[in-house]
Amino acid sequence: QGLGAGSIIELTRSGLVIPKINKVLKSAAVDIPDHCPSCGEKLQWESDFLMCVNHAICPAQVIGKMAYFFKILANNDGFGIATIKKLYEHGIRKISQIYTLSVNDLSAMGFGEKTSINLVNQLKRSTSEQIEDWRFLAAFGVNRLGMGNCENLLKSYSINKIFKLYLEQISDIDGFAELTAKMIVTGLNSIKSEFDLLSQYRFNLEQTPLQKDLAEFSHQLSGKKVIFTGKMSSSREAMKKYAKSIGIQVVSSISAKTDYLVVGEKVGQKKIESAEKYGVEILSETNYLSMITLI
């Protein structure tokens, strides 16, 4: 479409939030690179994406993976891109190496004394402050294993058993196609050694309840697919966690397979329109709470 640097485009605010390109008013040449700007490796097309496949060595990817780990854990501060880049410059290539660092090590890398102490404390915090096991697994950045898929996988198999799974066992889980399962098996094999090294630090993981161990609940929403939106009387995360514990399938986006949209205050019009489009029943928080009263 001629969407290069210097293009002039016409936008609308789609769904009152997302910018949508209506048309290109003035096109510009698209400069498509042949080689990765970070490592120089020749780029390859994978479907619609131009990829650097030098995953293990490419500086941008190595730095990105390490920063991603701490971002997804979300129980630490200080390990943003700037910090990770500095660690990379001093030979750090893996998350497991970061957890071996002392205050003296960090000081020798040029971090100030207070910063060094804080970073070490944040590493300790990240292992002691409880997080969900699916979040920990997602932090490794395995292709096709985002947080949703990690949680889905760990509903069927505990985190210590997933590395021995066959392709067929994963593809048998609802939501995992054969291609996705194949990529997950390959990805899990690639992180196994790093996972084992980090497991030595005994992260405080909250285990995902196995589906087979969940009791049969006798309320109206048991087994139903529900999405929460808007401001609730308690935090949405707390509501999601409780909903899952009583047999409700909490989803993140509305589709034809969604059963209910539970709305609080300040709900975006986009969610309401999507629910109406797919025929999803809309519940107030009060109605929802009355429907999950256990009999």
pLDDT digits (tens, 9 = 90+) for 169-219: 999 998 899 999 999 999 999 999 999 999 999 999 999 888 877 666 778
Residue 33 to residues 30, 37, 172, Cα–Cα distance (Å): 9, 8, 40
b or e along 207-217 (b: 16 or more beta carbons within 10 Å of the residue's beta carbon)? Answer: ebeeeeeeeeb
What is the rounded distance in angstroms from the CA atom of residue 187 to the CA atom of residue 139?
13
Fold for domain 59-128? DNA polymerase; domain 1 (1.10.150)
Q: What is the pLDDT of residue 175?
A: 86
Residue ranges of alpha helices (H) inside 50-172 are: 59-73, 81-89, 95-98, 103-108, 113-128, 133-138, 147-154, 167-171
What is the rounded distance in angstroms from the CA atom of residue 73 to the CA atom of residue 136?
6
Domain spans in the chain, listed from the N-terminal domain onward: 8-48, 59-128, 131-206, 225-291
Q: What is the pLDDT of residue 295?
A: 43
Asked if pLDDT for residue 141 goes beyond 90, the answer is yes
CB–CB of 176/198 below 8 Å?
A: no
Percent of the chain's residues with pLDDT above 70: 97
The class that CATH gives domain 131-206 is mainly alpha
Q: What is the pLDDT of residue 15?
A: 67
Q: What confidence tier does 236 reach under pLDDT thresholds 50, 70, 90? A: confident
Q: What confidence tier does 241 reach under pLDDT thresholds 50, 70, 90? A: confident
Supply the mean pLDDT for the chain: 92
Asked if pLDDT for residue 254 goes beyond 50, the answer is yes
Q: Give the other-Cβ count within 10 Å of 279's Cβ.
A: 8
Q: What is the DSSP string of 249-289?
A: EE-SS--TT--EEEE-BS--HHHHHHHHHHTPEEEEHHHHH
Sequence-separated (6 or more) residues with CB below 8 Å from residue 95: 66, 69, 194, 198
Q: Which two tokens stand for residue 91?
A: 């030979």
Q: Which is nearest to 120 in space by CA: 101, 93, 139?
A: 101
Do domains 59-128 and 131-206 share one topology? The answer is yes
Q: Which is nearest to 123 in space by CA: 111, 236, 189?
A: 111
Percent of the chain's residues with pLDDT above 90: 69
Among 9-13, 14-18, 123-127, 177-181, which is the least confidently predicted range?
A: 14-18
Average pLDDT over residues 149-175: 94
Q: What is the CATH number of domain 225-291?
A: 3.40.50.10190
- Higher model confidence: residue 203 or residue 5? 203
Average pLDDT over residues 124-137: 96
Which residue matches tokens 């994978």? 46
